[in-house]
C-alpha cells in the first residue's frame, strides 16, 4: 500500500487522505489489533516504519493511538511524505516542545519533497501550530518555492507582514521584491530604507545609491537608524547627515560608536535645550571625553557630564525609557567626582539595573567609595545585582574593617569555595596561598528526558528528543536541572553546551564551586588538546592552567573560531600579531596555520609570556594586555604603582578588559583545581 508517496497525494485534502486510510484499514478487521510494542519492532525504511505506527494510530488501543500517531508523523516526514506526516501529527495534536519538533520535521519534508504551494498552505493550517508557527511555515515555504523559480506562488504563500517577527520581515520583503511588479518596487524601496544590508541579496534590484536618491528626510532617518542597529556606524553617520533635524540624535550616536565624542557633542547640541534625548547623548559624549582625558582634566569633564545628565532628567518625562540611562550617567559622574552618597540613590531603581554599564558603575562605587559608604549606610553590596558585584563590594568593605581588626569579612570570602579574584585578594590580605575548593567525586545526578521522550528514545530518535526537550526548557524559562540532562544527552560541543550548563546549575557561573561534582565541572571546564596545552605552556613558561583558562574564555575550545575583528583559532590571534610573535619562537614559520591547535597555542602562550615580562611578572597585567593591548593597560599599571592587585585590576577603565581579567583568573583556577592540583595557586608564582 503506497500511502506514503507524496505524488499520489499532491493537492489531496488531508481529511480525504485520512478517510482513505481508515477505509482501507477497516477492510482488514479480521487482523489482530496492532500494538505499539509491535510497531517498535518493525523493520525497514522510514515508509515501512511509518505504516506500522499508522496502523496503531488508526486501529490500535485508545491508550496508544496518540503516541503512535506522533511517531507515524515523524517517520512519514523522514520518508519525504509530508501529507501523511501531517495526517499523523493532526491525530497526535502535539503540544509544548513536540510542536516545534513536528513543525521542523514537517517543514523539512515539504522542502525535500518539492511540495507545491497547496501542500504548504494545508500544512500551515494544522490546528496544533501556533500563530507564529503558521507564519514561519508559510515564510519558509515561500522561500523554498522562490528558489525553484516559482515567484508568483511564493508571494501568494507569504503570510501577512503583521504576523511576522521583526527579524523575518526583510526575508519576506526580498521575496516580494523579486516579483518585479509595483509591489516588488515598493518592497525594494522599503528594503533600501529599513534593511539596507539585505538589499545586497537581490541581484536584480537597483543599487542602494539609486533607490536612496529619492529618500525623504524621514526615510533618511530610518535608513540611518537601520545602519546603526546593524553596527555600521560609518554609513549610519552619512545617512544621518542627510536626515535633517530627525538625524541629529542618530548622528550623535554614530559619532559615539566611532569614538568621536567632540563631533557627538556638536550633533547633540543641534537638537536644542528642550530635547531630553539630546542631553543624554551630550552626557554620553562627555563621559567618553572624561575617560580619555588626562587625570587633571577629568574632574572638569565629569562635572560637565553630570550637568548634562541632570538636565536630561529634568526634561525627560518620568515614564520615558531614556530616564534610566540618564540616572546611570548621573551616578557614574557622581562616583568619579567622589560624591558617593549622592550616587547611590541613582542606582537603586529597577530600570537602571538593565542598563549596559550598571555593573561597571557599581563596582567603581564599591572600590572608590568603600570607606565613605560604610558611614552612609548604603554600601554598594546592597546595590549590586550580580554575584561579582556583591563580592567585590564585600571585599572592599571587608578590607576597610580589617584595618580596624575585624577580618571576618575577609575570612568569609577566602573560605567561600569560589576562587574568584575577590576571594583571592582576601586570601592574600590574610597571608594565605590561594583559595581551597574541593569538588565532589560523586557523579552528578541529572534530570532524565521528559516522559514523552521515551517513545522517541525507543526508536533511536535522540536528535528529536534534544530538539523537543530544548524547546520545553526554553519555554519554561529560568534555571532548570533539565539543561544538564539535555547537554549530556546531546553530547554538545563546549561552545554550545557551556551556556546551557549554567542554566542547569547556576553555581557554575556564580559559585560556590565547593562540593560540585567533578564530572559536571569537567563539562563546564573541558580540556581538549591537553598535551598541546602543556607543551605550549612549558615552552613559553606559562602555567598550563592559565593558558587553558585563556583559551576557554577566548574560543571555548573551538579551533576554527573566527572573530569579527579577524582573530583566529583557539587563542584568538590576529594574523599580523601572530606573524610577529612567531619570529620569537625558534623553528616556527612566520606564516603558521592559525587553525592548527598546536601552533596557535604556542603563539598564544608566547604572547602572554611576553606581556608578563613587560609588566614585572604580573599575570593580571599580561591578561589585560592580551585583551586590550599594552598602551592603555600601561597607563593604569603606572597609576596603580605597578601593584599587581585589586587597585590595578579595579582601575581598568575598559569594561570588557576588566571583565576579561576576572573571568580568565577564575577559569584558570578552575582548571588548576581539576587538572593540575599540584600547581601553585593564584598568583601562580
Of 319, 333, 238, residue with least CA distance to 284: 333
Q: What is the DSSP string of 204-216?
A: TSPPHHHHHTT--
Q: Report helix, strand or coil for 568.
A: strand
Q: Does 321 reside within a domain?
A: no
Give the residue carrying C-alpha cell 549622592.
Answer: 342
Whether residue 519 sits in one domain with residue 544: no
Q: What angle do CA 677, 682, 685 make, to 5 degrees?
A: 95
Task: Assess contact for 582 and 603: CB atoms under 8 A.
Answer: yes
- In a shared domain, residues 594 and 492: no
Mean confidence (pLDDT) of the chain: 91
Helix (H, G, I), strand (E, B) or coil at 569: coil
Phi, psi of 79 (to 5 degrees): -85, 10
Determine, yes or no, domain membership for 192. no
The verdict on 542 and 668 lying in the same domain is yes
Contacts of 650 (CB under 8 A, 6+ apart): 363, 364, 367, 392, 658
461 and 490 co-located in one domain: yes
| Cβ–Cβ under 8 Å, residues 284 and 256 | yes
Helix, strand, coil percentages for the chain (3-state, nearest 5): 65, 0, 35
Q: Report residue 618 CA to chain centroid gap.
A: 31
What pLDDT was estimated at residue 3? Answer: 42
C-alpha cell at 166: 521583526
CA distance 562 to 555: 9
Q: Which three cell numbers stand for residue 527?
A: 580540556
Cell of 185: 518596487
Q: Is residue 123 a contact partner of residue 86, using CB atoms and an 8 Å limit?
A: yes
- Which pLDDT belongs to residue 170? 94
Q: Are residues 549 and 639 in the same domain?
A: yes
Tell me how far apart the alpha carbons of residues 120 and 229 are, in angstroms, rounded to a whole number.
Answer: 33
Torsion of CA 562, 566, 568, 571, to 10 degrees: -110
Q: Among 129, 160, 195, give the residue marking a domain's end.
A: 129
User: Using an 8 Å Cβ cutoff, are 648 and 619 in contact?
Assistant: no
DSSP string computed for 173-211: HHHHHTT-SHHHHHHHHHHHHH-HHHHTT-TTSPPHHHH
Structural domain contains residue 621? yes
Of the residues 90, 111, 129, which one is the last residue of a structural domain?
129
Predicted confidence at residue 10, as pLDDT, reads 45
Cell numbers standing for residue 278: 539630546
- Residue 186 in any domain: the answer is no
The DSSP string of 519-566 is HHHHHHS--TTHHHHHHHHHHHT--HHHHHHHHHHHHTT-TT-B-TT-
Question: Would 366 be classed as within a structural domain?
Answer: no
Give me the DSSP letters along 81-102: -HHHHHHHHHHH---THHHHHH
- Indicate whether 460 and 563 sit together in one domain: no
Neighbours of 15 (CB within 10 A): 11
User: Domain containing 554 — which CATH number?
Assistant: 1.10.530.10
* Domain shared by 46 and 96, yes or no: yes
Residues 562 and 658 in one domain: yes
Do 515 and 623 fall into the same domain?
no
Number of domains the chain is built from: 3
Please indicate, yes or no, if residue 553 is contained in any of the structural domains: yes
Task: Give the separation between CA 104 and CA 45, rounded to whole angstroms.
Answer: 21
- Here the cell at position 169 is 520581515
Q: Is residue 515 part of a domain?
A: yes
Residues of the chain with pLDDT under 70: 1-30, 201, 203-205, 371-381
Q: How confident is the model at residue 548, as a pLDDT?
A: 98
Residues 54, 61: Cα–Cα separation, whole Å? 12
Map residue 514 onto helix, strand or coil.
coil
Is the same domain home to 10 and 106? yes
Residue 73 backbone phi and psi in degrees, to 5: -60, -45
Domain range spanning residue 10?
6-129
pLDDT value of residue 441: 94
| d(C-alpha 81, C-alpha 84), whole Å | 6
Last residue of a domain, one of 504, 524, 544: 524
- Please give the pLDDT value at position 199: 82
Contact 192, 207 (CB under 8 A): no
pLDDT at 16: 54
Q: What percent of the chain has pLDDT over 70?
A: 93
Cβ atoms of 126 and 110 closer than 8 Å: no
Tell me: do 534 and 670 sit in the same domain: yes
CA dist., res. 77 & res. 58, Å (int): 18
Distance, first Cα to last Cα, the chain: 75
Task: Give pLDDT, residue 91.
Answer: 97
Cis link prior to 512 (omega < 30° from 0)? Answer: yes
Backbone angles phi, psi at 33, to 5 degrees: -70, 120
Instruction: Please identify which residue in the block is written with the cell numbers 539543561.
Output: 483
The dihedrals phi and psi of 594, each to the nearest 5 degrees, come to -75, -10
Tell whether 446 is covered by a domain.
Answer: no
Q: Any idea which residue has 581598568 for its cell?
A: 652
Note whether 247 and 222 are within 8 A (CB): no
Chain segment 90-130, per-residue pLDDT in tens: 999 999 999 999 999 999 999 999 999 999 999 999 999 99
Give 202-229 pLDDT, tens digit per residue. 766 678 888 898 899 999 999 999 999 9
pLDDT digits (tens, 9 = 90+) for 422-479: 999 999 999 998 999 999 999 988 899 999 999 999 999 999 999 999 999 999 988 8
Alpha carbon distance 565, 560 (integer Å): 14
Contact between 199 and 192 (Cβ < 8 Å): yes
Contact 421, 662 (CB under 8 A): yes
Please answer whether residues 192 and 204 qualify as being in contact, where contact means their C-beta atoms are separated by less than 8 angstroms. Answer: no
Q: Is there a single domain that holds both residue 565 and residue 658?
A: yes
Amino acid at each position: 500500500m503506497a500511502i506514503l508517496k507524496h505524488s499520489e497525494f499532491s493537492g489531496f485534502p488531508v481529511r480525504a487522505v485520512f478517510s482513505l486510510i481508515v477505509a482501507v484499514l477497516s477492510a482488514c478487521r479480521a487482523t489482530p489489533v496492532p500494538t505499539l510494542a509491535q510497531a517498535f519492532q518493525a523493520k525497514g525504511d522510514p515508509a515501512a516504519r511509518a505504516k506500522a505506527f499508522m496502523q496503531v494510530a488508526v486501529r490500535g488501543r485508545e491508550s496508544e493511538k496518540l503516541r503512535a500517531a506522533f511517531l507515524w508523523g515523524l517517520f512519514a516526514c523522514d520518508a519525504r511524505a509530508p501529507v501523511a506526516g501531517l495526517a499523523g501529527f493532526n491525530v497526535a495534536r502535539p503540544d509544548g516542545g513536540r510542536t516545534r519538533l513536528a513543525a521542523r520535521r514537517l517543514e523539512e519534508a515539504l522542502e525535500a519533497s518539492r511540495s507545491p504551494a497547496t501542500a504548504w498552505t494545508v500544512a500551515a493550517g494544522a490546528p496544533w501550530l501556533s500563530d507564529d508557527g503558521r507564519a514561519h511555515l508559510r515564510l519558509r515555504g515561500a522561500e523554498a518555492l522562490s528558489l525553484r523559480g516559482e515567484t508568483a506562488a511564493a508571494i501568494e504563500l507569504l503570510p501577512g507582514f503583521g504576523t511576522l517577527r521583526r527579524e523575518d520581515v526583510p526575508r519576506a520583503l526580498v521575496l516580494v521584491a523579486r516579483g518585479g511588479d509595483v509591489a516588488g518596487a515598493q518592497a525594494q524601496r522599503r528594503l533600501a530604507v529599513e534593511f539596507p544590508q539585505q538589499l545586497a541579496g537581490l541581484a536584480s534590484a537597483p543599487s542602494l545609491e539609486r533607490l536612496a536618491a529619492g529618500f525623504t528626510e524621514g526615510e533618511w532617518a530610518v535608513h540611518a537608524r537601520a545602519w546603526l542597529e546593524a553596527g555600521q556606524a560609518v554609513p549610519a553617520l552619512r545617512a544621518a547627515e542627510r536626515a535633517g533635524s530627525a538625524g541629529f540624535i542618530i548622528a550623535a550616536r554614530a559619532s559615539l560608536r566611532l569614538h568621536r565624542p567632540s563631533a557627538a557633542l556638536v550633533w547633540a547640541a543641534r537638537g536644542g535645550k528642550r530635547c531630553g534625548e539630546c542631553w543624554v547623548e551630550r552626557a554620553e559624549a562627555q563621559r567618553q571625553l572624561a575617560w580619555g582625558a588626562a587625570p587633571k582634566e577629568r574632574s572638569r569633564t565629569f562635572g560637565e557630564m553630570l550637568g548634562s545628565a541632570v538636565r536630561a532628567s529634568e526634561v525627560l518625562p518620568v515614564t520615558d525609557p531614556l530616564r534610566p540611562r540618564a540616572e546611570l550617567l548621573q551616578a557614574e559622574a557622581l562616583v568619579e567626582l567622589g560624591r558617593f552618597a549622592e550616587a547611590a540613590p541613582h542606582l537603586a531603581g529597577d530600570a537602571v539595573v538593565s542598563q549596559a554599564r550598571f555593573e561597571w558603575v557599581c563596582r567603581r562605587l564599591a572600590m572608590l567609595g568603600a570607606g565613605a559608604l560604610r558611614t552612609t549606610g548604603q554600601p554598594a553590596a546592597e546595590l549590586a545585582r550580580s554575584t561579582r558585584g556583591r563580592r567585590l563590594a564585600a571585599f572592599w568593605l571587608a578590607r576597610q574593617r580589617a584595618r580596624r581588626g575585624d577580618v571576618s569579612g575577609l575570612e568569609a570570602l577566602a573560605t567561600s569555595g569560589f576562587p574568584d579574584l575577590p576571594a583571592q585578594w582576601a586570601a592574600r590580605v590574610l597571608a594565605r596561598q590561594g583559595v581551597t575548593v574541593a569538588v565532589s567525586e560523586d557523579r552528578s545526578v541529572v534530570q532524565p528526558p521528559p516522559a514523552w521522550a521515551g517513545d522517541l528514545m525507543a526508536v533511536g530518535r535522540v536528535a528529536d528528543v534534544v530538539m523537543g526537550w530544548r524547546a520545553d526548557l526554553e519555554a519554561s524559562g529560568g534555571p532548570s536541572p533539565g539543561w544538564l540532562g539535555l547537554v549530556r544527552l546531546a553530547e554538545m560541543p563546549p561552545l554550545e553546551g557551556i551556556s546551557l550548563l549554567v542554566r542547569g546549575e547556576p553555581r557554575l557561573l556564580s559559585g560556590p564551586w565547593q562540593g560540585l561534582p567533578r564530572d559536571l565541572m569537567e563539562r563546564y571546564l573541558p580540556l581538549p588538546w591537553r598535551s598541546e596545552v602543556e607543551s605550549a605552556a612549558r615552552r613559553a613558561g606559562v602555567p598550563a592552567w592559565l593558558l587553558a583558562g585563556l583559551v576557554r574564555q577566548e574560543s571555548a575550545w573551538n579551533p576554527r573560531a573566527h572573530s569579527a575583528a579577524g582573530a583566529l583559532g583557539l587563542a584568538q590571534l590576529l594574523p599580523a600579531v601572530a606573524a610577529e610573535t612567531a619570529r620569537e619562537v625558534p623553528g616556527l614559520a612566520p606564516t603558521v596555520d592559525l587553525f592548527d591547535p598546536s601552533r596557535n597555542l604556542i603563539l598564544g602562550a608566547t604572547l602572554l609570556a611576553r606581556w608578563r615580562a613587560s609588566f614585572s611578572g604580573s599575570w593580571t597585567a599580561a591578561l589585560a594586555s592580551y585583551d586590550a593591548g599594552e598602551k592603555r593597560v600601561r597607563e593604569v599599571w603606572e597609576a596603580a604603582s605597578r601593584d599587581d592587585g585589586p587597585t590595578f585590576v579595579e582601575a581598568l577603565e575598559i569594561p570588557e578588559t576588566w571583565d576579561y581579567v576576572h573571568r580568565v583568573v577564575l577559569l584558570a583556577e578552575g582548571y588548576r583545581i581539576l587538572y593540575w592540583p599540584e600547581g601553585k595557586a593564584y598568583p601562580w608564582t
